[in-house]
Structure 1
Amino acid sequence: MLCLKKGVHRAQAVRPRARQHFHGEGETVLNGSLLLERFTREERYWVARSQLQRVAQHGECLPSAPACNHPQAVFMDDKPMTRVPSKDALATGEFYVDYASGRIFLVDDPTVHKVEVTIAGFAFESSAADVLIDNLTVEKYGSRAQKGAIHAREGLRWVIENCVAQLNSGAGISVGTGTRVRGCDVHHNGQIGIEGEGKDILIDGNRIWSNNIYGFDPEWEAGGVKIAISNGVTFRGNRVTDNNGVGLWCDIECRNVLFEDNFVENNLYSGIFHEISFNAVIRRNVVRHNGRGRGWFWYADILVAASEGVEVTGNTVTIEPGGCGIMLIDQGRRSEKGATYKTRNNTIHANEMTFEGAPCAGGASDTKRGEENFSIISTGNNQFDGNTYRVRGTSGPTRFVWGRDVTDWAGFRRRGLERNGRLLLDESPEGLPPKPGTESMPSR
């Protein structure tokens, strides 16, 4: 075991060997930055010399944050400053890097503040097997998007326990085959909290919150956790809140996935998202107030899109006004080999949904007439049954959707759905009076 002493250790980059154990003795911080201490005044700017070199940009940014994918960052009193593309645009809380002259520009007076600049790209990275990292804080590393400051993606059977990963530019932690992430606090990372791919991955008992602080596009990849192209993934007992993107997400050919006993709240996109994938169980999660960053039926707390063989059961879901509870969505998406993903053989049962506005749930098709998947929602053995829909009040029309038809509770049941389900108004067994008729659903 390698014991790392209490204190701040700057710009350390470690390539572990097989079976090494890195243990922090307490209040041990690996910090990927250096202090900037010598500033001079030039007109309205404060200027410091730096050794920063241009690095390749990776990842897609929101229009409001065009420099999100520059991994080099500056911090003032532990708060990230915003990078701007030109010196003339500088305002308070911002910085500009002039690579040609090797200088960093601020307008805020740095003389009474701690100013740091990222210099190291990772804290731990290697292809070694059976590495254990515990009881450490890893912060302010210039990891690029889709790469963790603790980067286990190419390793085997890494265990990361009781760690803090914060203020890193890309991902806090990247996982690979056999990785276990347990009891960690993963927050305020630039792109995402945890990402990766592989087999037999466990993400258990972590706090994952307030990630994507630099404004990556959540539809590309950003937020709490995203695992892709993986088999045997378990998300268990995590508290996932306030991320600027999806809370928990498995995407692209994920198989044998379990989302279990998580608390998922106030994420900008869906709380739990299983996309273009297979074979998952989503059970006993508490999911609240997620999805407001998207429109149409994508505004959902639990979302299964272009996937098959998913069971959603025993979840407690609270839906804010304008949102949907549990949704299936089919887009007719194709794999890289040209096959069409099918939204089929999905079972949604025994869930408790409480709506703070009008109820919204079901299965929506975003395909056109004549396309292969046009009727897959209704013909693909998808089932909603035995769910409870509690309505505290209404703020718009009831939206139960099946295929391309938006209907009311009675219309939903006429389609063979929710034969054992309940729609309750303010705990009353009489439920809401059905609204007559149906309407055609517009495309998103």
Structure 2
Amino acid sequence: MSSSTNRNRTWAVALLTLLVVALAAPAASAQEYYSRRGTSASTEDTTDNTYAEGLAPVAPPARTGEEVVLELGDDFAAVVAAHPAGTHFRIAAGVHRGQSVTPRDGDTFTGDAGAVLDGTVPLRAGDFSRSGGVWVAAGQTAEAFVHNGRFHGSTEDGFERHAANNDLWNGDTRLNHVNSRGEVDSPDEWFFDYERDEVVVGVDPASASLSLSVPWHAFRSEATGVTVQHVTVTRYGSPAQHGAIHAQGHGWTVRHTTVTENHGGGVLIGPFGTLSHSRITANGQIGVTAWYGEGIVVDSNEIAHNRTLQYRLGWEAGGTKFKETTGMVFSNNWVHHNDGTGIWFDIDNRDSVIRSNLAEDNLIGVNIEISYGAEISDNTIRDNGAEGYGDIGAGIWVSNSSNVEIHHNEIADNRLDILATHYERGAGAHGRYETHGLDVHHNHIRITGEKPTGLRVYTGEDHFYTERGNTFRDNTYDLSEAGTTFWWQGDRSWDQWQALGFDVNGSFAAAGNGSTGVRTPYAPVGYGHAA
């Protein structure tokens, strides 16, 4: 252990390096965003940066007492187990491969600038032998997560092996895990034969840089009060519905992290936990998830480009999904380009708050499904929508959920803008799943999509149109083309819509007569540390 003077000097240098890296290296996609918006990413940009302050990098917390440094080559699990709960661990700069930690109550893990936890282990050319047109590495004993006798997770047809949570990488490219040995017939394909403990590849290992995702989690435990910060977590073999950071216990804080390219989920956050100021990108199944918790906060994160594997959209895939939460707050996040739902509250969530986010270029922007009570306010929701998915593809979709209030949002250019649906979905923990008490008011909506905004009832229970408290009021609409705009027991024009009693104090105009007033949501600052 170094002296206090040397330790403080080392920490000061690391902190200065972190701040320089964070301020000097904006996210690559931020400049693209500013370019698309026609605004400047320079310091002279005077656009209302409502989201920017919350995303600014901060210094790691002040240190008191001794700390334990996790160095390159250390066995993290053994070092952590050798110290008492509540220890502050500092992760040294560099790429730490194959580490998996079980935190205890009150443990803190803080990365130096450049600290990366990488869940892969190298496979060397000498591990392989030629067998016909493929190469085979024997003695590969990594285990996949199996649930009810099968790999966990529902996949699109033909991609069943994507549910096996070990990934093979060639440099920065994830290879396609095919369903049998015989299907490996190109350099970008591979197969893990778990029965024979063999990895089969179609690329010559001598000309490749192969590595296999082995551990499932970088951090996982049911401990309380754990903090993980200022570190990159990448390429872990997290199963579907699990996080590479798997915060099962109460009161975890995960902040200033980059969690990217893990197999299943990026981050699972538990009761009274907080995920903030982090970048969650390019994970195979989902970016962020939470189960069975109250008091969860997800604030000021970038959640983007998740669902890089072929998990089934309707099962669970995309940016986020939250189940059985109470009073969860999802705020100030940039949720974009997820190949699935961006913000998804599904199954028995209560009193959810979705506030001040930007959701753009997802297959669905926001989905409240079979849940009870939500407030969706002050968001910008634009350019979302999947072609060919029926009612799926809305900016905001309320499906069999009660007492949802949608207000003061900027909503533009989605395939469908605000759609509520009522099917027969049975009952949950707090009563029948049904669409009632929907209150949509004071939103600014630019309609360019192919289908109308409104309510669709599929059960024949027409009283949901007239007697269950579902209403639109005081909204402002811009319309790109003449034609049907609303759905309420059939197609409705603006005049017919108002005759039903909706938006009688609202306004309706051709597009171009108004502006969505979209705010710049993202400040070009760093999260975690790049490898």
Distance of 1:382 and 1:26 partners within structure 2: 52
2:272 pairs with one of 169, 178, 182: 178
Distance of 2:416 and 2:216 partners within structure 1: 40
Residues 428, 160 of structure 1: CA spacing in aligned structure 2 closer, same or farther, 3 A cutoff?
Answer: closer
2:421 is the alignment partner of 1:329: yes
2:233–2:258: 8 Å Cα contact kept in structure 1? yes
1:357–1:391: 8 Å Cα contact kept in structure 2? no
Query: Secondary structure of 2:191's partner?
Result: strand
Deviates more, 1:417-426 or 1:220-229: 417-426
1:42 equivalent in structure 2: 131
Alignment of 1:37-436 (within 5 A): 37=124, 38=126, 39-49=128-138, 50-56=140-146, 57-90=151-184, 91-153=186-248, 155-197=249-291, 198-268=293-363, 270-293=364-387, 295-320=389-414, 323-336=415-428, 339-357=431-449, 360-367=452-459, 369=460, 373-393=461-481, 397-402=483-488, 404-428=489-513
2:159–2:179: 8 Å Cα contact kept in structure 1? no
Distance of 1:171 and 1:98 partners within structure 2: 23
Query: Secondary structure of 2:427's partner?
Result: coil
1:200–1:233: 8 Å Cα contact kept in structure 2? yes
The CA deviation at 1:428 is: 4.6
The CA deviation at 1:66 is: 2.2
Query: Secondary structure of 2:327's partner?
Result: strand
Give the number of equivalent residue pairs.
Answer: 418
Distance of 1:329 and 1:204 partners within structure 2: 28
Structure holding more strand per residue: 1
1:358–1:398: 8 Å Cα contact kept in structure 2? no
- Superposed CA deviations along residues 77-134 of structure 1, whole A, max 9, x for unmatched, are 1221110111221123111112233221111223233211011011111111100000
Residues 250, 258 of structure 1: CA spacing in aligned structure 2 closer, same or farther, 3 A cutoff?
Answer: same
1:357–1:393: 8 Å Cα contact kept in structure 2? no
Residues 151, 338 of structure 1: CA spacing in aligned structure 2 closer, same or farther, 3 A cutoff?
Answer: closer
| Matched letter for residue 114 of structure 1 | S
| Matched letter for residue 301 of structure 2 | N
1:5–1:28: 8 Å Cα contact kept in structure 2? yes
Query: Secondary structure of 1:296's partner?
Result: coil
The CA deviation at 1:358 is: 5.3
2:116 equivalent in structure 1: 29
The CA deviation at 1:293 is: 4.9
1:2 equivalent in structure 2: 89
Deviates more, 1:356-365 or 1:230-239: 356-365
Distance of 1:104 and 1:24 partners within structure 2: 33
Distance of 1:332 and 1:375 partners within structure 2: 14
Residues 357, 245 of structure 1: CA spacing in aligned structure 2 closer, same or farther, 3 A cutoff?
Answer: closer
| Matched letter for residue 381 of structure 1 | G
The CA deviation at 1:34 is: 0.5
Relative contact order higher in (CA < 8 Å, ≥ 6 apart): 2
Structure holding more helix per residue: 2
The CA deviation at 1:149 is: 0.8
Query: Secondary structure of 1:225's partner?
Result: strand
Residues 64, 384 of structure 1: CA spacing in aligned structure 2 closer, same or farther, 3 A cutoff?
Answer: farther
2:360–2:383: 8 Å Cα contact kept in structure 1? yes
Residues 293, 179 of structure 1: CA spacing in aligned structure 2 closer, same or farther, 3 A cutoff?
Answer: farther
TM-score, normalized by length of structure 2? 0.76
TM-score, normalized by length of structure 1? 0.90
1:436 equivalent in structure 2: none
Distance of 2:427 and 2:388 partners within structure 1: 24
Distance of 1:423 and 1:238 partners within structure 2: 30
2:85 equivalent in structure 1: none
Deviates more, 1:305-314 or 1:290-299: 290-299
Distance of 1:223 and 1:195 partners within structure 2: 10
1:358–1:399: 8 Å Cα contact kept in structure 2? no
Distance of 2:203 and 2:418 partners within structure 1: 47
